[in-house]
Structure 1
Amino acid sequence: MRRIRAAAVATMVMALCACGDRGAQEPPPRPVLVERPQPAPGTSRSFPGEIRARAESPLAFRIGGQLVRREVDAGDRVARGQLLAVIDPGDFEAQARAAGARLAAAEAQLKRAAADRARYAALARDQLVSRSALDAQEAAWRAADGEARAARAQAEVARNQAGYAELRAPVDGVIASRQAEAGQVVAAGQAVFTLAADDGREVAIALPESAVGAFSVGQPVEVELWTAPGQRLRGRFREISPAADPVARTYAARVAIDEADAARVALGQSAEVHAAGAGAALSVPLSAVQGGNDGEATVWVFDDGRVHPVAVEAGEFGAERVPVASGLAADDWVVLAGGHLLRDGQAVSAVDRHNRPVGAGAQDAPAPTP
C-alpha cells in the first residue's frame, strides 16, 4: 500500500513539473502593425524629378567607319556581350591581313638569322671563322628578333582594330536612346547608343539655393510616382552637387531608390521627391503614443524581432498624428496600436500597412502616405 501511495505522489510531482515547464515557455510572437515615422506637417518639401538609371553610358566604336548594321533600338533590353551594331570592317580586315603577312616575313627572317648564328657558332668553336664574323651574325639575329617582335605587336593591333568593328554591350541594361542609323559614317568615339545599366534606379532632381543646405547625402526621403499617387517608395540622397548650375542656379541631386522598390519604376517616369529638412520633426499616429501631454510620452519600437519602449518628446496632439521632436529616427519601425498589451523585449511578428512582413529576412516596404 505504501508503494502505491509513493508511486501516486511521484506521478503527481512529475505532472506538476511538466505543467511548470509548459508555463515557462515563451508565448508565440504577437502580431503587430508597424510603420516608419513621417515628417511632421509643414516640415517636408517636394521636388519634381525624373527616373534615371544610376549608370548611363554612351556607347561608341573605338574606330571610325560606315555603320552597316544596327541590331537593337531604343527601349530594347540587352545582355552583356550582346552585339549592338557593326561598321564596315573591310579596311581593317585588309590591314590585319597585311600585318599578318609582315609578321610571317619577319618570322622567316628570324628563323634564317637563327640558323646562320648557329652555323657560325659551330665554326667559331673550330676556329674556322673570326670572332667579329660571329658577332655580326649575333647582331643580325638580334635585329631579326626585334623585327619579329614589332611585327607581332602590329599584327595584334590590326586584329584588335578589326574586332572593334563590332559594338557589344558592356553590361546588362536597356538601350535608353539611339544616336546613329545604318549607312551613317561615324567617327571613333562618337556615341551610337546610350545604355542604362541595371545597377539601380534614381530620381534626378534640382535643389534650389535656399534649400540645398538643409539636405545631406544619405538622408532618407520618399519618392512618389506621378502615375501612382499616394504610393510612396523609400529612397536616400546619394549625391548632391557641390556647385550650382551657372544658368538655373540650382544644385543637381540624385535620389537612389531602394532595391526592393526599384523594379516598380520605369526609366523616364516623372516623380516627386518628398524630403524633410535638417532638424525637421517627425510624426507618428495618435494610436502609437502611450501617455499624454501631462507626462512622458512613449512609443514602442520594433527592432530585430522584438519591441522596446522608447521615450519621446511629443508635441501638441493632433486629431490623427502627434509630432515628435526627439527620441525617434526616420528609419525606425513604430508599433501603431496595442502598446498597452506589450512588454519590453517581447517577441512579435511585425507587418506593415500592406500586410507585408517587416524585419530580418523581409524586404522593407515603402512607407505609407501620411
Structure 2
Amino acid sequence: MKKLLLISAAVGLAFLGLAGCAKKDAAPDPVRAVRTATVSGSQSVASHEYAAEIRARTESRLGFRVGGKIQSRAVNVGDAVKSGQVLAQLDPQDLRLGQEAARAAVAAAQSNFDQLSADYKRFKELRDQGFIGAADLDRREAAVKTARAQLDQAKAQAAVQGNQATYASLAADAPGVVTAVEAEPGQVVGAGTPVVRLAHDGPRDAVFSVPEDRIGALRQLLNQSGAVTLVPWGAGEPVKATIREVAAAADPATRTFLVKADVGKAPVRLGQTANIRIESKPVDGVIRLPLTAVAEAKGQTVVWLFDRSAMTVRTQPVTVAGADGNTVVIAQGIKPGDEVVIAGAHALTPGQKVKPFVEPVADAGKVIPTSASAPTAASLASR
C-alpha cells in the first residue's frame, strides 16, 4: 500500500513539473501612445532669397588698340578715374618710327605727283602746237592720275600711323572705378588684350543666379517695377528693385541662370553683397506638417492617419510640395480634418492599436488627454 502511494506521489510531481515547463503565452504588445494633430488649411506666402552682388550696369575691359610692351600703369584696383584719364602707357618707339616712315612716304608721293603734273602741262602745250600726238598726252595724263592716287594712299596711311601713335596711351572712355588689373608693366600684349577693367559711374544692378526650376517665375516678373526686394548685408534698409534682364541660357558649369535687377538710386556700394527676396502671392488652404510627421514606406512618402473610432493607425501616401524650415508643405494626399500622427510615427505598423499621448499636469496631479483638444498641424508647425 505504501509503495502504491509513493508511485502516485511521483506521478503527481512529474505532472506538476511538466505543467511548470509548459510554454507560457506571449504577453500582448503595449498600446503605444502617439502625439497627433488635426490637419487644417492655412494661408501661405512663399518666399525665396538669393545672394546677390552689386555691380555696375556697364563694365568695360579696356585694352590697347595696338600691340606692344607696357611701359607703365598709372592706376590700381579701387581707383576712381575721370573720362580721358591715362590708365596705362605702351613703349611708343616703334609707333613713332612707323609714323615717321608714313610721313616720308607722303613726301615722296607728293614730289612724284608734282613732277608728273608739271610734265603733263608741258606736253599739253606741245600737243596744242602739234608737235606730239594725242596718245602721248593720254599717257602723261594717266601717269598724273596714278601719282595722285598714290599720294592719297600715302596720306591715308600716314593718318593711320598717326592714330596708332596716339594709341600708345590707354585712356578711360568714361568716369568710373577700376575693378580689376589684368596686365602689368613689362608685359608684351597684343591688340585688344584686356589691361584694366572699369566699372562706369551710373546705374547699379544686383546680379544673382537662380536654379532652372525658378526661371519661369523670374521671367514673369521681368520689368515689373518693385517686384523684388533688395536687402543689403549689414547696415542698410531694404529697397525695391526691378528685374530687367534674365539670361536666355544656363551657365555651363553651374547650370544656373544669371539675373540682373535694377536697384535704381539705392544707396549701395559697388561690390556690396545683398539678398534678393522674392515673395509670391498668398495662397489659401495650404497644408503644413512638422517634418516628424512624414516618413518613407515602400518608396513612397507617407503620413500616419489616426482612426479615433478604432484607435488604430494606417499609412497614407502624400505628395510633398516643398519644405519651409522645420515644416513640409503637403500638395495632396490628406485634407483638413484628418488627424495625423506627428510624434512616435517611426515605430508604428499598419493597423496597430494606439492611444493619444497625454501630458501630466504637475500642479493638480492629473493628466489631460491630448485628444481633448487636439492641436492643429499649423499651430504645431509654428512652435
Common fold: TM-score over 0.5: yes
Q: Which structure 1 residue ranges, 5 or more long, are not aligned?
A: 1-39, 283-370
User: How far is 1:44 from its partner?
Assistant: 2.6
Query: Once the two structures are superposed, what CA deviation does each residue of 1:23-73 show, in whole Å capped at 9, x if it has no partner?
Result: xxxxxxxxxxxxxxxxx9733321111111111110001111111111111
Is residue 221 of structure 1 aligned with residue 224 of structure 2?
A: no
Alignment-derived partner of residue 199 in structure 2: 196
SS state of the match for residue 246, structure 1? coil
The structure having more radius of gyration, on CA atoms, is 2
Per the alignment, residue 238 of structure 2 pairs with: 232
Q: Is the 8 A contact 2:183 2:195 kept in 1?
A: yes
- Are residue 270 (structure 1) and residue 273 (structure 2) matched? yes
3-state DSSP of counterpart to 1:210: helix
> Which residue of structure 1 lines up, in the alignment, with residue 88 of structure 2?
85
Alpha-carbon distance in 2 for matches of 1:41, 1:119: 100
Say if 2:218 is the partner of 1:212: no
- CA deviations on 1:162-196 (whole Å, 9 max, x unpaired) are 11111011111111111112222222111100010
State the alpha-carbon separation in 2 of the partners of residues 272 and 202 from structure 1. 12
Q: Is the 8 A contact 2:45 2:282 kept in 1?
A: no
Q: Which amino acid aligns with 1:249?
A: R
In structure 1, C-alpha distance between the alignment counterparts of 2:269 and 2:200, rounded to whole Å: 13
TM superposition shift of 1:107: 0.6
Q: 1:85 and 1:41 mapped to 2: Cα distance?
A: 57
Q: TM-score, normalised by structure 1?
A: 0.62
**Aligned-pair CA distance for 1:128:** 2.2
In structure 2, do the counterparts of structure 1 residues 237 and 146 end up closer, same or farther at CA, with 3 Å as the change threshold? same
Partners of 1:281 and 1:218 lie apart in 2 by 21
Structure 1 residue matching 2:152: 3-state secondary structure: helix
Measured in 2, the distance between the counterparts of 1:268 and 1:116 equals: 71
Q: Which amino acid aligns with 1:63?
A: V
Kindly report the root-mean-square deviation, in angstroms, between the aligned alpha carbons of the 2 structures.
1.6
The secondary structure found in structure 1 opposite 2:230 is: strand
SS in 1 for 2:66: coil
Aligned counterpart, 1:184? 187
Distance 2:162 2:128 in 1: 44
Instruction: Give 1:274 shift.
Output: 1.0
Structure 2 match to 1:74: 77
Q: Secondary structure at the match of 2:213?
A: coil
Task: Report the TM-score, using the length of structure 2 for normalisation.
Answer: 0.59
> Quick one: distance in 1 between partners of 2:134 and 2:279?
88
| Equivalent in 65, 69, 74 of residue 68 of structure 2 | 65
Write the mapping of 1:22-61 to structure 2, written as runs, cut at 5 A. Answer: 42-61=45-64
* Alignment partner, residue 144 of structure 2: 141
Secondary structure in 2 matching 1:86: strand
Q: Distance in 2 between matches of 1:196 and 1:53?
A: 6
Runs (4+) of structure 1 exceeding 4 A deviation are: none
Letter in 1 for 2:269: A
Name the residue aligned to 1:118: 121
Name stretches of at least 5 consecutive residues in structure 2 with no aligned partner.
1-42, 284-383
Q: Which one is further off, 119-128 or 163-172?
A: 119-128
Distance (Å, rounded) in 1 between the aligned partners of 2:149 and 2:79: 49
